């Protein structure tokens, strides 16, 4: 439950005033319009590089959903996972991006959808990045928690060197079972995207000083959004009413219309977005066959398929140019677990690693 934390002030690098702003449900549902189909409407495996065969999926999708992942320093990874019967949030770290600490930090809360996290610098700072975590609380609103480094922290080693703020409400009302997505295109800037209760896409941003109200970007979504940003460019990916993936782009001055980029997601899952600096904005999805698929804006070759047995949406981050780390829930014929896989573009040719199970989560 988050209600007992309302009214508390954050003791961290920034101060935010929370003011419950409910998303309008009066807006008429706007159907996503197909403007430019750039690939087939169904997914098929084109490159099963990670496995010679796909394990049989056991049971129903894992209810906790995908974790959220970010990198605070371009090397390590920070993973935020909904766990337990109380659906609380835990934080797990990997200083080198591969080996995970045996401990995890409880962040509390009662989540009703998977979380979203992003690491970025505070306005005016280029030394100490903070992690901003957003979730859907049990009242349907968006809540934020900030994890900020102490002044003496220079490199990521363990979470005892960070200050963890209280949960703060950002208001809004999200569609059932959908979580927020967050991205940042510069110091002091955060952009949060959600599916409202009327199925439209909504946007709220932090400018380094204060939060905006909720802005409707229209559409009729059937998934949580996946957002990424590079420079002052933002890309948002969603599933439309037919399960097909649509893309909306901010060019630094205005929003584009909706573009149909093809592909069909597994029911109940959502796209994940990633970027490689200024070179590539892309997205990943769990296909209807439970395999992982990747595509990117401007691609002419269609989807790349990576064999798996996924039972959740993917989440992803590019901790530095050319390297993607992807996480998802999976279930083989013998056990279910949270899995990690990495893609290394600088290799010749670019290669995917193997799915690796993370224990204890």
Cβ contact 230:251 at 8 Å: no
218-264 pLDDT per residue, tens: 999 999 999 999 888 999 999 998 889 999 999 999 999 999 999 99
- When the candidates are 3.30.230.10, 2.30.30.60, 3.40.50.2300, 2.120.10.70, the CATH number that belongs to 3-358 is 2.120.10.70
Mean per-residue pLDDT, 146-158: 61
Where residue 152 falls among pLDDT bands split at 50, 70, 90? Answer: low
Please report, for the chain, the start and end positions of each structural domain, with discontinuous segments joined by +.
Answer: 3-358
* Degrees, nearest 5: CA angle 292-295-300: 140
pLDDT at position 106 is 92
DSSP class of 161:
G
Q: What is the DSSP string of 123-141?
A: TT-SS-EEEEEEEE-TTS-
pLDDT of 16 above 50: no
44-84 pLDDT per residue, tens: 232 223 332 333 343 333 445 788 999 988 889 999 999 88
Helix (H, G, I), strand (E, B) or coil at 160: helix
Mean per-residue pLDDT, 11-32: 32
Helix (H, G, I), strand (E, B) or coil at 210: coil
Report whether the peptide linkage leading into residue 349 is cis, meaning its omega lies within 30 degrees of zero: yes
CA-CA distance, 299 to 97, in Å (whole number)? Answer: 28
Q: pLDDT over 70 for what percent of the chain? A: 74
pTM here is 0.81
338-358 pLDDT per residue, tens: 888 888 877 666 788 888 888
């Amino acid at each position: 439950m988050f209600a007992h934390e309302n009214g508390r002030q954050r003791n961290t690098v920034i101060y935010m005033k929370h003011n419950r702003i409910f998303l309008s449900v009066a807006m008429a549902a706007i159907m996503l319009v197909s403007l430019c189909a750039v690939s087939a409407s169904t997914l098929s495996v084109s490159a099963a590089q990670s496995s010679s065969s796909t394990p049989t999926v056991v049971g129903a999708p894992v209810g906790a959903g995908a974790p959220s992942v970010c990198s605070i320093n371009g090397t390590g990874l920070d993973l935020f996972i909904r766990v337990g019967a109380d659906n609380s949030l835990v934080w797990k770290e990997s200083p080198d991006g591969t080996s995970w600490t045996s401990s995890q930090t409880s962040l509390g809360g009662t989540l009703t959808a998977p979380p979203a996290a992003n690491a970025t610098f505070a306005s005016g700072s280029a030394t100490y990045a903070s992690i901003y975590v957003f979730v859907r609380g049990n009242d349907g609103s968006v809540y934020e928690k900030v994890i900020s480094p102490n002044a003496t922290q220079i490199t990521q080693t363990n979470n005892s060197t960070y200050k963890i703020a209280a949960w703060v409400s950002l208001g809004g009302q999200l569609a059932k079972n959908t979580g927020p997505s967050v991205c940042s295109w510069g110091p002091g800037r955060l952009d949060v995207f959600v599916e409202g209760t009327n199925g439209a896409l909504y946007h709220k941003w932090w400018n380094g000083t204060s939060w905006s109200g909720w802005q409707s970007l229209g559409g009729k979504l059937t998934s949580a959004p996946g957002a990424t940003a590079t420079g002052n460019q933002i890309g948002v990916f969603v599933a439309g009413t037919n399960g097909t993936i649509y893309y909306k782009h901010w060019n630094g001055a205005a929003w584009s219309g909706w573009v149909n980029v093809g592909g069909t997601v597994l029911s109940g899952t959502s796209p994940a977005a990633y970027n490689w600096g200024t070179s590539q904005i892309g997205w990943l999805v769990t296909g209807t066959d439970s395999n992982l698929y990747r595509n990117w804006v401007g691609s002419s070759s269609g989807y790349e398929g990576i064999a798996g047995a996924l039972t959740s949406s993917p989440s992803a981050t590019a901790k530095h140019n050319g390297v993607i780390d992807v996480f998802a829930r999976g279930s083989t014929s013998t056990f279910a677990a949270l899995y990690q896989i990495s893609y290394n573009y600088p290799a010749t040719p670019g290669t995917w690693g193997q799915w690796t199970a993370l224990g204890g989560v």
